[in-house]
Amino acid sequence: MSILVFNGGSSSLKVQLYRNGRDDSLEPHLGGAVTGLGGRSHWRWRSPPGETEGEAELSDHREAARWVLGRLRAANVAIEAVGHRVVHGGDIFKNPVRLTPETIARLASLNHLAPLHNPPALDVIDECRKVLGADTPMVAVFDTAFHATLPEAARRYALPREWIDAYGIRRYGFHGLAHRYMYERYLQLDQSKSSARRVLTFQLGNGCSACAIRDGRSVETSMGYTPLEGLIMATRSGDVDPGVLVRVMARGPGADTLERGLNHASGLLALSGATADMRTLLALEADGHDGARLAVEAFCHRARKYLGAYLAVLGGADAILFGGGIGENAPTIRARICADMEWCGLRLDLNANNRARGSEQCVSAGQSSMAVYVIKVEEELLIARDVQALLGAKAVE
């Protein structure tokens, strides 16, 4: 089976082709990414001869998908099935689903829940059906699905019942694929902990979230009805007193202005007054930039708050896992989040932690009661596995 996976962000599209290897495992064959959609886009392409990159005018996800499929067709690459990351499955989709006209129509009804992500994903799906034909099996895998196991006390907001009923308000959680991948990969990496019951995961990148996992099931997560809740992020606010938003709206800005401010002008960018990029912030902090120092300290403080809270939710932890661009590549951020936690048995091996940059590694000290791992998140591989499991080899013969 050869499986093509599309993983779209708000202005990017990642793609990876997997083929069956030994023991029916999936191995990456080629892939790439298009970033900066909506203008002069940058693309990177990896294939057996090597890696190439360049620029192209790609206005949206549909054009990016068409560009990718054209490149694959020109190389005579066979595509037997396609997997699509879809951010929001609402209360309808809690497992991977085969895409049919009926399921696509139901997906479209959820666009209001993730207006920046679900419509572009549907555009990619539509383009794939046009280019590859409706007979090519396609599967949608949902970011919210992992959090469908949240208990009622964790998924409900303490809001008037009429609001809940009228607008379908509840905590959905996001980054489910990343949290699930970290958990499953950890069990592979540390066979001695194959029965680990309590695991806390941090997905730290442009978007950031934490998840408490018990027996493989998400029981609490930091993002809620939207990805705005929880940790401080690159340009998203994370937790904020709702009264602040009422006050701001009462002074004039409408809902659109408020939403843009919360999603695109808050977070690390707002705190530092300089940049949303953590690498740049750490460099600026080292040079004495007060705004950068505040941004980094606030980021780590918020993450530590959630670490402590989720240790309470789980009654302790067998493992703490870090993934995402910051989680995988910023040892100092991991160290600050885990600092002075000996009281609960958490200890880092600072040398191992400093060596772990973009690589999978155990970074906890030998005497730590909790394993701490850096996990290189591969959402596309998880999606391909779900496609393989759902369709089976016979479905694409």
Which residues are identified as catalytic? Answer: 143
CA dist., res. 73 & res. 269, Å (int): 41
Sheet holding 319-323, edge to edge: 217-221, 208-214, 198-204, 319-323, 371-374, 361-362
Alpha-carbon span 8 to 175, nearest angstrom: 13
Position of tokens 């990496």? Answer: 189
Q: Residue 43 and residue 218: Cα distance in Å, rounded?
A: 35
SS (H, E, C) 53-89: EEEEEECCHHHHHHHHHHHHHHCCCCCCEEEEEECCC
Percent helix / strand / coil, the chain, rounded to 5: 45, 20, 35
Query: How does strand 81-86 pair with strand 138-142?
Result: parallel
φ/ψ region of 33 (left if φ > 0, alpha if ψ in -120 to 50, else beta) reads beta
Please report the DSSP string for 357-370 in residue order: SSS-EE-B-TT-SS
d(CA 93, CA 390): 14
Q: Which residue, 230, 193, 150, 186, is CA-closest to 376?
A: 186
- Rounded to an integer, what distance in angstroms lies between the CA atom of residue 233 and that of residue 334? 15
Go through the chain and tell me how many residues it has: 397
Q: In 3D, which of 199, 217, 185 has the Cα closest to residue 370?
A: 199
Give, as one character, the DSSP assignment of residue 210: E
Under DSSP, is residue 172 helix (H, G, I), strand (E, B) or coil? coil
**Which tokens in the block code for residue 193?**
């902990």
Q: N- to C-terminal Cα distance for the chain?
A: 8
Backbone dihedral region for residue 392 (phi beyond 0: left; psi -120 to 50: alpha; all else: beta): left
233 residue type, one letter: M
